[in-house]
Every structure is written in C-alpha cells, then in structure tokens.
Amino acid sequence: MPVLKTRIHELRKARNMQQLELAELVGVRRETIGNLENGKYNPSLKLAMDIAKVFELPVEEIFFFEGQE
C-alpha cells in the first residue's frame, strides 16, 4: 500500500513556524501536526486543504505518495 508523505515539516521550518501555530491556524491539536509530519496519521481532505491554504500551495505539493516526489 502506498505511504502518504508530507512536506509540512520542511515548509513549516522555512516559514519559521511552530507546530502549535500551524495547529491553531487549521484548528487541530499540536499532536496531530506532529503525527502528520511523522507519517503516523493520514489527514482528512478538509485538513489537507486547510494546511495547503496556510502554505498557499496546491495540496499535491504538500502531500504525495512515496516514490512520486
């Protein structure tokens, strides 16, 4: 089964943003952002789109399946 990967950590660091700040912007807990970054949780479409909106990027530039970078 393909594994969903994210660039959240990289994008967050580039913007000097804390996990908690991003979590508050998209209305989830800090733990959820941590698990997303570590590949331990697959987000809902709504959460993925909310995160994409924060970074002002298309969803597919933040979330991708392993080997499709």
Partner 1 sequence: MHTEKKELSILTQVNLQYIFTGSCFAISGIVGFFDTLPTLIINVVTALLAVCCLAHVMVARKEMDDEMSKEHLQRAQATVLTWSQMILALGFAVPLILRFADVQAQIGKTVTLCNMFLLILGMQHIATGLLFRRYEKEGY
Choice between 45 and 69, CB closer to partner 1: 45
- Sign of the dihedral defined by the CA atoms of residues 61, 20, 10, 43, in that order: negative
Provide the minimum distance between the beta carbon of 7 and partner 1 in the complex, in angstroms, as a whole number: 18
Interaction between residue 1 and partner 1 (CB under 8 A): no
Choice between 46 and 53, CB closer to partner 1: 46
Choice between 15 and 46, CB closer to partner 1: 46
CA-to-CA distance for 46 and 52, rounded, in angstroms?
10
Q: Interaction with partner 1 in 9-68: which residues (CB under 8 A)? A: 27-29, 31-32, 35, 38-41, 43-44, 46-47
Packing angle between helix 19-26 and helix 30-37, nearest 10 degrees?
Answer: 110
Q: Which two tokens stand for residue 59?
A: 């969803």
